[in-house]
């Protein structure tokens, strides 16, 4: 390896890259200045951006790596597929976000190819045109690494999906879908096609009955019936939309009332919902399915398929998991402070990570073991109350679960059940009860809401890091696992929406509230307008909605 001194005094090193043996550049900080800790953030989605927005950059030297130089407001992606809003209205350039932080954050438009936790280095490659002068490969060293790379579409290795289906994950996907919908109509009206061919071209299939698939189906239905039927009147009766869902209901992560409201609305709208069907393969013309109840195979022709069945881990994250002994897991595991299990100074948040549930059960057992000093298997009431306090502080989901079942006072509930006449607590019975509670407590959903709250939480931890190092006793202490300076991450569910088309929406609000219908759609408009990351995108989105109300959606294929 050769090293050169840069004019600025920093060091540039040339070495072989881990990928394809290309030359690459390593950036070291200027050694003469007092060193700030180097924070490298991978990803500029919900998690990465909310981390950057609140991070106190006076304490850190921050570098951000992402193959996209913008933040995308993903909840409005389905609206982009039909031109209800324009793609540029829902994206904010990362450099605008950085500018607001006085430009002290460095951004590199590149993809992270590999994380090496031993040398604390990330290896990256830019996706910018290779014909431009200069090297596309480089590496960066970190003191703290924040992994916020999101997830990729899960195809379940179904044959033909990658080749013949559209995904709805990125802005480019939504733009591609918009063009293909118009292609299907333009092809269907060409002379010389049989009626059967026209029908096939105008059969739109959505695989996956989750929020994204359903929202897209609703958007498409509105686009077809409000705009396209006026432009292509000759084929208006040949259009069909089908949603294929392997479970028994669509929107099955929502409240039952929402799920059945959506099913009834789709039935009225003529959107066919095939529940209990598993897609076995997809070809350029056909989608092949198996009915779960009978085992029968059926095939239907399609003009376009949108695949929306959930997410899986990106290869770069999988490779990192293998290096740190998490190779047998599906998702990168962190503790409740979002620290990657088994890897110091690395944090992971958003869709690419999950809090390890198994560890929670083990930790609860540890807390008990530590409290049961005489190994009697029993605790006094005071000891018991201390234990409960620790568990609820560390594992808010235990409390959240009990609260959601209206069992507000955790300690009272458990006390009633497990304290004997001598006012002692049976630890084994109690541990069993808690682990059952834990099993029933679902891990956090892969949503923008979770990712954004995790980003804000982690930046507040980073902002207090130095202060806490100087006061190591910290505000909180726990019996096992040493002392922790920060509260664990606590998710606050603010509700979720499912727009269902025709100016109707469903919402699940905190406190088991469900709201359905037109008024909910207006609530959706106001919430989504208010949640935009900048005034620029807010005005653009509101402008697009108004344009659509007045002129309809634009059907040009550009
Ligand atoms: P992302 O937002 O996906 O960001 C990942 C970032 O990592 C991106 O900037 C990406 O470019 C970057 N990246 C990828 N690979 C690399 C690499 N190798 N190196 C460096 N950077 C990399 N959630 C809700 O709460 N409400 C909704 O209404 C909602 N609607 C949705 C609609 C759609 C169509 C979709 C697709 C998702 C929706 N979600 C919604 C889910 C939400 O978008 C995700 O949960 C959220 O984006 C997760 O945030 P994240 O930061 O973990 O990942």
Residues 296 and 323 both lie in one domain = no
Cα 218 from Cα 266, distance rounded (Å): 8
Domain harbouring 426, CATH code: 1.10.238.10
* Top-confidence range, 349-363, 454-468, 478-492, 544-558: 544-558
Domain for residue 551, yes or no? no
Q: Which of 309, 327, 348 is the last residue of a domain?
A: 309
CA of 85 to the centre of ligand 1 (A): 19
Nearest atom (ligand 1) to Cα of 447: 45
Q: Is there a single domain that holds both residue 433 and residue 369? A: yes
Give exposure, 185-212, as e/b (b: 16+ Cβ within 10 Å): beebeeeeeeeebbbbbbbbbbbbbbbb
Q: Which ligand 1 atom sits nearest the alpha carbon of residue 451? A: 49
CA–CA separation, 514 vs 307, rounded Å?
Answer: 28
* pTM score, whole prediction: 0.83
541/525 Cα distance (integer angstroms): 10
Looking at the chain, the whole-number percentage of residues with pLDDT higher than 90 is 60
Q: Is residue 405 situated within a structural domain?
A: yes
Q: Are residues 201 and 297 in the same domain?
A: yes
Helix (H, G, I), strand (E, B) or coil at 214: helix
Query: Ligand 1 — pocket residues by CB below 6 A?
Result: 42-48, 65-68, 74-75, 77-78, 111-112, 148-150, 168-169, 212, 314, 316, 350-352, 446-449, 451
Residue 416 lies in a domain: yes
pLDDT above 60: residue 64 = yes
Are 302 and 426 in the same domain?
no
Q: Which atom of ligand 1 is nearest to the CA of 314?
A: 15
**pLDDT tens digits, 107-161:** 999 999 999 999 999 999 998 887 888 888 999 999 999 999 999 999 999 999 9
User: Cα separations (Å) of 93 from 127, 136, 217, 229?
Assistant: 17, 21, 29, 36
Q: Residue 67 domain-assigned?
A: yes
Residue 159 in domain: no
Residue 300 shares a structural domain with residue 315: no
Query: Based on the domain organization, do 124 and 46 belong to the same domain?
Result: yes
pLDDT at 240: 97
The answer, yes or no, to whether residue 223 has pLDDT greater than 90, is yes
Q: In this predicted model, which residue has the larger pLDDT, 38 or 401?
A: 38
* End residue of a domain, out of 491, 508, 526: 491
112 CA to centre of ligand 1 in angstroms: 16
- Residue 239 is assigned to a structural domain of this protein: yes
**Which CATH number do you get for residue 322?**
3.50.50.100
Residues 126, 69 share a domain: yes
Atom in ligand 1 nearest the alpha carbon of residue 169: 36
Residues 86 and 234 in one domain: no
| Residues 340 and 487 reside in one and the same domain | yes
- Residue to substitute in 40, 44, 46 for testing ligand 1 pocket (most ligand atoms within 8 angstroms of CB): 46
Dump pLDDT digits (tens) for 470-516. 655 544 444 444 445 567 787 888 889 999 999 999 999 887 789 99
Residues 327 and 464 in one domain: yes
* Ligand 1 geometric centre to CA of 448 (Å): 7
Same-domain status, 303 and 182: yes
pLDDT at 275 over 90: yes
In a domain, 28, yes or no: no
Give the distance (Å) from ligand 1 centre to CA of residue 443. Answer: 18
Same domain, 480 and 349: yes
Element (H, E) at 362: helix 357-371
Residue 254 lies in a domain: yes
Tell which atom from ligand 1 comes closest to the C-alpha of 65. Answer: 20
In a mutational test of the pocket of ligand 1, which residue from 49, 125, 127, 150 has the highest number of ligand atoms less than 8 Å from its CB?
Answer: 150
Mutate to test the pocket of ligand 1, among 138, 149, 494, 541 (most ligand atoms within 8 A of CB): 149
Domain of 290 in residue numbering reads as 165-309
State residue 37 phi and psi, 5-degree precision.
-65, 140
Quote the number of domains for the chain: 3
């Amino acid at each position: 390896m050769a090293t050169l001194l840069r004019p600025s005094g920093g060091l540039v090193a040339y070495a072989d890259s881990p990928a394809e043996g290309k030359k690459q550049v390593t950036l070291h900080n200027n050694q003469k200045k007092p060193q700030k800790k180097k924070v490298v953030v991978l990803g500029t989605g919900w998690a990465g951006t909310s981390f950057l927005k609140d991070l106190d950059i006076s304490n850190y030297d921050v570098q951000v790596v992402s193959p996209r130089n913008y933040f995308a407001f993903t909840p409005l992606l389905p609206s982009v597929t039909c031109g209800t809003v324009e793609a540029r209205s829902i994206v904010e350039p990362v450099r605008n976000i950085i500018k607001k932080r006085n430009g002290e954050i460095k951004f590199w438009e590149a993809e992270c190819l590999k994380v090496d936790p031993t040398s604390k280095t990330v290896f990256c490659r830019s996706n910018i045109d290779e014909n431009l002068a200069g090297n596309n490969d480089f590496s960066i060293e970190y003191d703290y690494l924040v992994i916020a790379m999101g997830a990729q579409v899960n195809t379940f290795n179904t044959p033909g999906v990658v080749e013949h289906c559209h995904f709805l994950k990125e802005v480019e996907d939504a733009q591609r879908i918009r063009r293909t919908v118009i292609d299907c109509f333009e092809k269907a009206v060409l002379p010389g096609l049989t009626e059967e061919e026209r029908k096939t071209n105008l059969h739109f299939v959505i695989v996956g009955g989750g929020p994204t698939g359903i929202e897209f189906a609703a958007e498409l239905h509105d686009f077809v019936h409000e705009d396209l039927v006026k432009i292509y009147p000759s084929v208006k009766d040949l259009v069909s939309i089908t949603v294929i869902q392997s479970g028994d209901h669509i929107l099955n992560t929502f409240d039952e009332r929402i799920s059945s409201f959506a099913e009834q609305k789709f039935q009225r709208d003529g959107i066919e919902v095939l529940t209990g069907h598993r897609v076995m393969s997809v070809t350029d013309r056909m989608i092949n399915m198996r009915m779960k109840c009978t085992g029968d195979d059926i095939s239907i022709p399609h003009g376009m398929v949108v695949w929306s069945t959930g997410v899986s881990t990106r290869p770069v994250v999988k490779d990192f998991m293998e290096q740190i002994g998490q190779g047998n897991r599906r998702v990168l595991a962190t503790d409740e402070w979002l620290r990657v299990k088994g890897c110091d100074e690395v944090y992971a948040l958003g869709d690419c990570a999950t809090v390890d549930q198994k560890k929670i059960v083990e930790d609860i057992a540890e807390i008990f073991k530590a409290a049961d000093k005489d190994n009697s298997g029993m605790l006094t009431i005071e000891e018991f109350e201390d234990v409960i306090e620790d568990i609820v502080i560390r594992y808010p989901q235990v409390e959240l679960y009990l609260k959601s079942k209206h069992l507000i006072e955790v300690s009272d509930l458990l006390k009633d059940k497990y304290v004997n006449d001598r006012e002692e607590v049976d630890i084994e019975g109690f541990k069993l009860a808690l682990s059952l509670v834990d099993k029933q407590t679902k891990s956090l959903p892969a949503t923008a809401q979770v990712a954004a709250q995790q980003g804000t939480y982690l930046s507040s931890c980073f902002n207090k890091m130095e202060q806490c190092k100087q006061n190591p006793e910290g505000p909180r202490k726990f019996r096992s696992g040493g002392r922790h300076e920060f509260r664990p991450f606590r998710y606050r569910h603010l509700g979720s929406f499912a727009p269902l088309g025709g100016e109707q929406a469903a919402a699940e609000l905190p406190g088991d509230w469900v709201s359905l219908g037109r008024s909910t759609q207006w609530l959706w408009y106001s919430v989504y307008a208010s949640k935009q990351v900048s005034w620029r995108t807010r005005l653009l989105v509101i402008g697009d909605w108004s344009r659509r109300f007045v002129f309809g959606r634009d059907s040009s294929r550009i």
